[in-house]
Chains A and B, each alone.
Chain A
Amino acid sequence: DAGVTQSPTHLIKTRGQQVTLRCSPKSGHDTVSWYQQALGQGPQFIFQYYEEEERQRGNFPDRFSGHQFPNYSSELNVNALLLGDSALYLCASSLLFRTGKPYNEQFFGPGTRLTVL
């Protein structure tokens, strides 16, 4: 059973450029969340997608946008890249509605390391 996969592994971009990161959720999961982990920090919630809609959003500017496809995979897009966008971008998948559990565990992928020069 494949876990959460992300592509690419590493990416180098220049300020002002745009980037697209991809995520395939764990088999059977229907919800994808994206997190940004800057160096020396914990992951910060960007947004979550369920049924192809943005369900919840963290404190990130509109330059960060996303998409979820019918097969539950997801993309994270960042426009007008800034140096401060350099970080590890983590994707996490979960099953949103699971009866009998107080918490639906999020499974994380290995991340995409984005460097903005």
Chain B
Amino acid sequence: DQQVKQNSPSLSVQEGRISILNCDYTNSMFDYFLWYKKYPAEGPTFLISISSIKDKNEDGRFTVFLNKSAKHLSLHIVPSQPGDSAVYFCAARAQGGSEKLVFGKGTKLTVNP
């Protein structure tokens, strides 16, 4: 039973355009959501997060939107750059002080010059 789903295995966009990565979840007990970026041969690196009490968090070119009623979140990258090409993982944490992260399968983003 996958509690965090990333239904698009891959996404290809042109440099300078917007990249939108989507994530759905099923567990309403999640209280914190995160996006991690992973390059080959490296561990995932934290990108941006959002608390379940917010609906938007912005950090430079990266914005995460949370729609709790739809149990959906999305990551927007504007403008996209070739260096953004990586696998992006959506992750969630259950409330109650748990440090366990539940990850989606990831979306491979390719930004073409």
Chain A interface (Cβ < 8 Å from any Cβ of B): 4, 31, 33, 35, 40-45, 48, 55-56, 58, 90, 92, 94, 96, 102-111
In contact, A41 and B41 (Cβ under 8 angstroms): no
- Residue from A33, A41, A42, A109 having most chain B Cβ neighbours under 10 A: A42
Selected from A40, A45, A55, A108, the residue in CB contact (under 8 A) with B43 is A108
Closest to B91 in A: A42
In contact, A43 and B32 (Cβ under 8 angstroms): no
C-alpha spacing A31/B102, complex, angstroms: 17
C-alpha spacing A105/B101, complex, angstroms: 11
Q: Which residues of A contact B104 (CB under 8 A)?
A: 42
Selected from B4, B45, B102, the residue in CB contact (under 8 A) with A108 is B45
Task: Give B40-58 as 1s and 0s: 1 = Cβ < 8 Å from A's Cβ atoms.
Answer: 0111111001010000000
Report how many residues on chain B are interfacial, defined by Cβ distance under 8 Å: 25
A102-B51, A103-B93 known; A56+B44 contact, CB < 8 A: no
C-alpha spacing A68/B3, complex, angstroms: 29
In contact, B98 and A103 (Cβ under 8 angstroms): no
Chain B interface (Cβ < 8 Å from any Cβ of A): 4, 6, 32, 34, 36, 41-46, 49, 51, 89, 91, 93, 98-106
CB distance from B27 to the nearest CB of A (A): 14
Q: Which residues of B contact A40 (CB under 8 A)?
A: 105
A33-B99, A42-B89, A103-B93 known; A110+B41 contact, CB < 8 A: yes
Q: Which residues of A contact B49 (CB under 8 A)?
A: 103, 105
In contact, B51 and A56 (Cβ under 8 angstroms): no
